[in-house]
Amino acid sequence: MKYELFINGEWVKDSNQEYFPAINPYTQEVWAEIPQASDAQVAKAIDCARAAFDGVWSKTSGVERARLLNKLADLLEADAARMGVLESTDNGKVIRETSSQMLFAARQYRFFAGSADKLWGKVIPLDQPDILDYATREPLGVSVLITAWNSPMGLLSNKLAPAIAAGNCVVIKPSEHASATTLEFAKFVEKAGFPKGVINIVTGDMRVGKALTSSGRVDRVSFTGSPNVGREIAAQCGRLLIPVTLELGGKSPNIIFEDADLDKAVVGAFAGIFAATGQTCIAGSRLLVQKPVYEKIVKTLIEKSANIVLGDPINQKTEMGTLANEPQFNRVMRCIENGVKEGARLVAGGHRATGPTLGKGLFVQPTIFRDVDNSMELAQEEIFGPVLSVIPFDTEEDAISIGNDTKYGLAAGIWTSDLNRAMRVSKAIRAGSVWVNTYRAVAVQAPFGGFKDSGFGRERSEWALDEFLAPKNIMIDYSNMARDPFAIKT
Write the pLDDT tens digit of every residue in 415-424: 999 999 999 9
Q: How much is the pLDDT for 15?
A: 86
Q: How much is the pLDDT for 480?
A: 77
Give a three-class secondary structure readout of 65-95. HHHHHHHHHHHHHHCHHHHHHHHHHHHCCCH
302, with CB counted inside 10 A (0-12, 13-18, 19+), is: middle
pLDDT at 350 > cutoff 90? yes
Band (pLDDT 50/70/90 cuts) for residue 151 is very high
pLDDT at 2 > cutoff 60? yes
Q: Alpha-carbon distance 263 to 267, whole Å?
A: 7
pLDDT at 202 > cutoff 70? yes
Catalytic hit among 247, 382, 459, 467:
247
Catalytic hit among 48, 169, 237, 281:
281
> 153: Cβ–Cβ under 8 A, 6 or more apart, which residues?
76, 83, 87, 98, 101, 102, 105, 181, 182, 185
Mean pLDDT of the chain: 96
Q: How much is the pLDDT for 490?
A: 47
Q: Is 77 a catalytic residue?
A: no
pLDDT at 251 > cutoff 70? yes
331, with CB counted inside 10 A (0-12, 13-18, 19+), is: middle
pLDDT at 367 > cutoff 80? yes
Average pLDDT over residues 308-317: 96
> 256: Cβ–Cβ under 8 A, 6 or more apart, which residues?
262, 265, 269, 287, 288, 289, 290, 293, 297, 415
Q: Is 467 a catalytic residue?
A: no
- Residue 288: which H helix or E strand, with range? strand 286-290
pLDDT at 485 > cutoff 60? no
Band (pLDDT 50/70/90 cuts) for residue 261 is very high
Q: How much is the pLDDT for 487?
A: 58
- Greater confidence, 487 or 453? 453
Q: Alpha-carbon distance 384 to 226, whole Å?
A: 10
pLDDT at 482 > cutoff 70? no
What is the chain's Cα-based Rg?
Answer: 25
Q: Alpha-carbon distance 167 to 195, whole Å?
A: 12
Band (pLDDT 50/70/90 cuts) for residue 288 is very high
pLDDT at 484 > cutoff 70? no
Q: How much is the pLDDT for 458?
A: 97
> Whole-structure pTM over 0.85, yes or no?
yes
How does pLDDT run across 92-136, given as a tens digit for each residue?
999 999 999 999 999 999 999 999 999 999 999 999 999 999 999
How does pLDDT run across 426-472, given as a tens digit for each residue?
999 999 999 999 999 999 999 999 999 999 999 999 999 999 999 99
